[in-house]
Amino acid sequence: MDELNLVQAVNRALARAMADDPRVVVLGEDVGRDGGVFRATDGLFARFGEDRVIDTPLAELAIAGVAVGMAAQGLRPVAEIQFTGFIYPTIDQLVNHASRLRTRTRGRLACPMVLRSPSGGGIHAPEHHSESPEAMLAHIPGLRVVIPSSPRRAYGLLLAAISDPDPVVFLEPTRLYRAVREPVADDGEALPLDRCFVLREGRDLTFVTWGAMVLETMAAAERLAGRGVEATVIDLATLHPLDHETIVESVRGTGRCVIVHEAPLSGGWGAEVAARLAEHALTALLAPVVRVAGYDTVMPLPRLEAHYMPGVERVLAAAERVLEFA
């Protein structure tokens, strides 16, 4: 069991999937000889060759379209989009083909493809490199949206995504690529999709978060514990389909909920979580649901990036607001 960071765990999962299943192929810009802009595919070209690790032109629409075709013909492509700011040309293929292929063909064809992309801010990248478009992608019926928040979860969830019979968008928090290390067993064991992970249990309030914001949320929960306030922290991991049962069960016990995400507030996936709580746990709430999120503006790179992104103090302030209610 090696100590890996998140990008190394992604690399290890790709290598394991390719070794175990000859149908798995990797494609994208600079994924071959260069090993990817973040080194997520480092070493795969030398190990598996140019037929299975394919360098593509700078054409995201074509990358997604080729992946759909490969999947329809029995392969299991894993396509990389270098940054989520470049993911928008793929929407045509995701909406009109990948997500509809099973229903369009009445089950005759499926689309077992994964679209990977670094996501989110915090690395002082230039414009178009720091978006968090998960809510837009999660609104596409027939598409899974998965965001890991640790090396171990990145490994297990990526294996699950590759083996899934339907299309998955796998967003990797760029800020977490090299932020933490933990032991990861390269055992080929997948983690379940469509389920939240409860990272800590508490009786006083429930934090719901995902991606890079798990770090700030866990830090806030630790600070609260020092004051005698015990918080549950739930990592969504799979945003769509949403495991709202786990969230509802927790909030029914704590009566309070703070949702933390990096994307802009309006129309963010936190609004969907809050709506589910209003529908299924309204009478259990002791305080309004509070969202901590990015601001409704393009991320102000580079100087105001840190101000834009929610930090521990903003999370704590939201927790204090919901705890004020008796």
Look at residue 302 in the predicted model and tell me its pLDDT: 81
Question: pLDDT, tens digit, for every residue of 135-163?
Answer: 999 999 999 999 999 999 999 999 999 99
Are 206 and 174 members of one domain? no
Q: Is 177 among the domain residues?
A: yes
Classify residue 191: in a domain, yes or no: no
Per-residue pLDDT at 286:
98
CB atoms within 10 A of CB 193: 18
Asked if residue 206 and residue 124 are part of one domain, the reply reads no
pLDDT value of position 55: 98
Same domain, 234 and 169: no
Give the pLDDT of residue 152: 98
Domain boundary among 159, 184, 209: 184
Same domain, 77 and 162: yes
Distance CA 7, CA 39 (A): 7
* DSSP 8-class letter at 265: S
The pLDDT of residue 300 is: 86
In Å, what is the CA distance from 74 to each residue of 51, 56, 78, 109, 169? Answer: 15, 20, 13, 9, 19
Contact 132, 211 (CB under 8 A): yes
Domain C-terminal end among 162, 184, 206: 184
* Cis before 241? omega within 30: yes
Contact predicate 26/18, CB 8 Å: yes
The H or E element that residue 286 is part of is: none
Looking at residue 289, its pLDDT comes to 98
Token readout for 172 is 């990797």
User: Within this chain, do residues 29 and 178 fall inside the same structural domain, yes or no?
Assistant: yes
Alpha-carbon dihedral 293, 295, 300, 305, rounded to 10 degrees: -30
Q: Which residues of the chain have pLDDT under 50?
A: none
Per the structure, the count of domains in the chain is 2
- Structural domain boundaries, residue 28: 2-184
pLDDT of residue 129: 87
Domain CATH for 279: 3.40.50.920
The pLDDT of residue 126: 78
Answer yes or no: is 131 within a domain. Answer: yes
CATH number at residue 180: 3.40.50.970
The residues that are catalytic are 129
